[in-house]
Amino acid sequence: MRIRSFRYFPGFTLLIILSWIVSCSGSRSNQPEKGNGTSGNIPDPAGMALIRMVSPSENAEYKLKDQIKVRIESEDKTVRFDSVKVYFDGHQAGVVRSEPWECQVDPSFNTLTGRKSVKAVGYSKEKTCSVTRFVVVNSDIKPGKFTFSVVKTYPHDREAFTQGLFYDNGVLYEGTGQESGSSLREVELHTGKVMRQHNLDPSLFGEGITLYKDRIYQVTWRNKVGFVYNRSDFRVLNRLYYQTEGWGLTTIGDRLVMSDGSNVLYFLDPESFTVVSRLEVYDDEKKVDQLNELEYINGEIWANIWMTDLIARIDPASGRVNSYIDLSKLYPEAKRREVNADVLNGIAWDSSNGRVFVTGKRWPQLYEIKVIK
């Protein structure tokens, strides 16, 4: 039986990162910039009239809302540009029509954390040349640090390898994992008794769950298939397919949000399960990956960070981590080892009564906690 604590990302992945991409063409294009600005960057075979980006440097780090200075130079002094267009993260951020070829990317363009493209396109009568660099945008705030107090303790099935959790209308719902042990459950909060259970095919490793309207969604780990259930009887209504691993799942308005173990959150259309947008999560120093079980609470996405006792509270509008909750003293690791319990995983929010519940994989208890500074 596969133990989730030992899962890893696929073996050897070759990452070829071009520190800057240069292209030239013989005619001026009026096509709008698409995507992250890297498409269509075809190296000029003759090496003619290449341009160089003096700033920013490759992988330069900035904060949200920083102004970013872009400066380019021509590598061929015989070519004079008529204008230079600057794109940030695929959006046109400025036009320069005379030397020096410099542009300040306004902070209004710098509103999302993550790795972003900076592209400059130089136009002359003879050629159109472009150069692209990538920068990293970190959060503009230092994340707050919170701890907790236990309000109440409830029984929890010691065999439940918790991968997903939510609470609605007086009922706790739980998704469990591991091959030959994955399920969707309706649980009585005060007793921990399983009132209803749907078992997944033994080949599947169940993951996060969420509620959208009257339907429950559940994803699987590496099988790239999910399920839509009728809430009242757990009848399977539909299958869902996706291209990444499935880890956590929550709902924000008319979108589902899924994690895949990286620092990326995917916003999904509930009907087609296609990706509408993606969000890269960073704090003020680094990307925050291993995002696992998710819950949307009071305007923030709360995410278990796998193999830690931390919950990250994420701003869904920008990707920055507002704060961390340290739950390391809730059920210390030494006590877990004694009973073969696993890592912290599972967050549920009772929006009607303002209660937060947390648990872990094979934990004997589920905790109602109060977050404190």
CATH number at residue 82: 2.60.40.10
If asked whether residues 111 and 148 sit together in one domain, one would say no
Percentage above 70 pLDDT, the chain: 87
For residues 261-265, give the mean pLDDT. 98
Within-domain flag for 16: no
Within-domain flag for 206: yes
**What pLDDT was estimated at residue 243?**
96
Of 282, 215, 198, which is closest to residue 249 (Cα–Cα)? 215
Within-domain flag for 40: yes
If asked whether residues 62 and 149 sit together in one domain, one would say no
If asked whether residues 95 and 187 sit together in one domain, one would say no
**What pLDDT was estimated at residue 51?**
85
Region of residue 255 (phi > 0: left; psi between -120 and 50: alpha; otherwise: beta): beta
If asked whether residues 148 and 90 sit together in one domain, one would say no
Q: Which of 106, 138, 170 is the last residue of a domain?
A: 138
Residues of the domain holding 25: 21-138
203-257 pLDDT per residue, tens: 999 999 999 999 999 999 999 999 999 999 999 999 999 999 999 999 999 999 9
For residues 155-166, give the mean pLDDT. 97
Handedness of CA 17, 8, 244, 139 (dihedral sign): negative
If asked whether residues 77 and 190 sit together in one domain, one would say no
* Dist CA 289 CA 329 (whole Å): 22
Selection from 40-54, 78-92, 161-175 with the highest mean pLDDT: 161-175
CB 260 within 8 A of CB 252: no
Query: Exposed, middle or buried: residue 237 (CB in 10 Å: 0-12, 13-18, 19+)?
Result: exposed
Where is pLDDT greater, at 360 or 42?
Answer: 360
Within-domain flag for 13: no
If asked whether residues 71 and 173 sit together in one domain, one would say no
For residues 146-160, give the mean pLDDT. 97
37-84 pLDDT per residue, tens: 333 333 333 334 478 999 999 999 999 999 999 999 988 777 788 999
Q: What CATH number corresponds to the domain at position 328?
A: 2.120.10.30
Give the pTM.
0.87
Strands 144-155 and 321-326, sheet pairing: parallel
For residues 321-350, give the mean pLDDT. 94
If asked whether residues 124 and 150 sit together in one domain, one would say no
* Dist CA 253 CA 99 (whole Å): 48
Percentage above 90 pLDDT, the chain: 79
Domain count, the chain: 2
**What pLDDT was estimated at residue 167?**
98
Asked if pLDDT for residue 157 goes beyond 80, the answer is yes
Within-domain flag for 12: no
**What pLDDT was estimated at residue 285?**
97
pLDDT bin (cut points 50, 70, 90) of residue 158 is very high
If asked whether residues 194 and 55 sit together in one domain, one would say no
For residues 251-271, give the mean pLDDT. 98
Q: What is the mean pLDDT of the chain?
A: 88
Where is pLDDT greater, at 199 or 334?
Answer: 199
